[in-house]
Amino acid sequence: MQNILNTIKNNALREIENIKSGDEYIKLEKKYLGRNGEFTKAIKDIKSLAEKERPIVGKIANEIRIDLENGFNKIKEAVLETAGDIKGSVFSFDPTLQSKKQEIGHLHPTTLIQNELMDIFASMGFMILEGPELESDYYNFESLNVPKTHPARDMQDTYYIKPDKKLCSSQIVLRTQTSNMQVRTMHEYGAPLRAIFPGKCFRNEATDVCHDNSFHQLEGMIIDKNISVANLIAVMEEFLSKVFKRELKTKLRPAYFPFVEPGFEVDMNCIICDGAGCPSCKNSGWLEMIGCGLMHPNVLKAGGIDSEEYGGFAFGLGTTRMIMMLHEIADIRLMQSGDIRFTKQF
């Protein structure tokens, strides 16, 4: 068996040396390596060899195959391509043939909506800032009027990271809200200011169709003189109508957030069930879209801003939830499922 293989190899290599054209190349490749080629046929007998011999001969056969392939490749480069003999052979290039379709990816719906919102708010004079997802307890809670023992901590349970005491003395958390940027931004820019902060947030949630343990929010904040709830409502209505490009029913109801006073929630009618009630809106017909309110004086104080001179408002909306409404997606968990059948639809 080994002798047969070696003979085939020697014959093949000798013949390869003498190839002069593309046609000869094809013929010879077929003669040895084609489906009914001499080498291909010979190695079929390996399986009938004694069990001990099989791996030995198999290895030799593999080496011979590589030698033959190398021989063919070498002659292709050395003789045929340099001589330009590519006509009518496997090397020919037909520009009219269709190319293999390239699959091009695209942006995730979360990124798409975020980009759209950034455009809308930029047109209203807001600057766009990004904040850290790994945040100190201070910026995520304490500076926002939520001291360590405050019951409001229960509203947003999160993942606590054990800090390296040498590097950091404060408790580190995965941020529960983009509000972590409020006091950071005041420290950086002072008053007056107008900014939005899009980004990812995390909560220790039992997941269901409308809750996930990571999701996206977009927070906004204006600090200036003579700011009132009327300004807040005007900005909310302006951007909602721009995003949904249709007439929406909204309602403003009082809500509690420790860092605003008074605080509100803007609800909009559920587009999935048109207000009739479905699992996505917990059968209420309404969806909480935006938490908002006038800046609490304690928060302005934490940011080093005189609350007698300046006021402001802040709002936070769930961009993930907004996409669900826009595209009538009934289960939030699809958003980060990584299921390509889902993401391909956008």
Does position 332 bind ligand PHE by CB under 6 A?
A: no
- Rounded to a whole number of angstroms, the minimum distance from the CB of residue 241 to ligand PHE is 20
Asked if 157 contacts 163 with a C-beta cutoff of 8 angstroms, the reply is no
Size of residue set near ligand PHE by CB under 6 A: 12
Specify the amino acid at residue 344: K
Asked if 84 contacts 22 with a C-beta cutoff of 8 angstroms, the reply is no
- Rounded to a whole number of angstroms, the minimum distance from the CB of residue 272 to ligand PHE is 21
Q: Which two tokens stand for residue 127?
A: 């600057």
Residues between 266 and 295 that touch ligand PHE (CB under 6 A):
291-293
Does position 219 bind ligand PHE by CB under 6 A?
A: yes
The Cα–Cα gap between 42 and 183 comes to 78
- Rounded to a whole number of angstroms, the minimum distance from the CB of residue 137 to ligand PHE is 15
Does position 311 bind ligand PHE by CB under 6 A?
A: no
Binding residue for ligand PHE, selected from 257, 270, 310, 320, defined by CB under 6 A: 257
Instruction: Tell me the CA distances in angstroms from 84 to 87, 89, 97, 146, one per residue in order.
Output: 8, 11, 21, 77
**Complex with ligand PHE: residue 253 or 344, whichever CB lies closer:** 253
**Complex with ligand PHE: residue 60 or 118, whichever CB lies closer:** 118
- Rounded to a whole number of angstroms, the minimum distance from the CB of residue 289 to ligand PHE is 11
The whole-angstrom distance between residue 82's C-alpha and the CA centroid of its chain comes to 46
Q: Residue 276: count other Cβ atoms within 10 Å of its Cβ.
A: 11
Does position 260 bind ligand PHE by CB under 6 A?
A: yes
Sign of the dihedral through C-alpha 243, 246, 247, 249: negative
Residues of this chain that interact with ligand PHE (CB under 6 A) are 177, 179, 219, 257, 260, 263, 291-293, 314-316
